[in-house]
């Protein structure tokens, strides 16, 4: 997992229906409660705040690093997502990836 830091941009991995925030929504880390919980601001495309939520590290991945002002590579994002999946799901992803080598491009 890429270590989250203040002002990093994250991508939510799960739906949060109680506040109408869906998986894939981007947010910015604005505070750290502890090693596993961060306060994240979610905004719309006009920059208006949709919600401030406490989010656990297994519910998001870091997609942009504030420190380096750069996007996290796609490979690192995929790896970060795999890390939070149970081993059986990881095996399913591995098998799917293997099948891609058999399919014509």
Token duo for residue 72: 């996290």
Question: Mind listing the pLDDT tens digit for each residue in 52-61?
Answer: 999 999 999 9
DSSP string computed for 37-86? EEEEEEE-TTS-EEEEEEEEGGGEEEEEETTTTEEPPHHHHHHHHHHTS-
> What does the pLDDT read at residue 27?
97
Q: What is the mean pLDDT of the chain?
A: 94
- The predicted-structure confidence for 2-47, as pLDDT tens digits, reads as follows 899 999 999 999 999 889 999 999 999 999 999 999 999 999 889 8
């Amino acid at each position: 997992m890429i270590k989250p830091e203040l002002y990093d941009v994250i991508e939510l991995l799960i739906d949060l229906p109680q506040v109408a925030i869906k998986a894939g929504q981007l947010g910015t880390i604005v505070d750290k409660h502890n090693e596993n919980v961060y306060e994240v601001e979610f905004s719309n495309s006009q920059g208006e705040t949709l919600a401030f939520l406490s989010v656990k590290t297994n519910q998001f991945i870091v997609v942009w690093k504030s420190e380096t002002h750069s996007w996290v590579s796609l490979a690192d994002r995929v790896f970060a997502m795999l890390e939070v999946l149970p081993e059986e799901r990881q095996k399913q992803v591995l098998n799917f990836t293997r099948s891609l080598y058999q399919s014509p491009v």
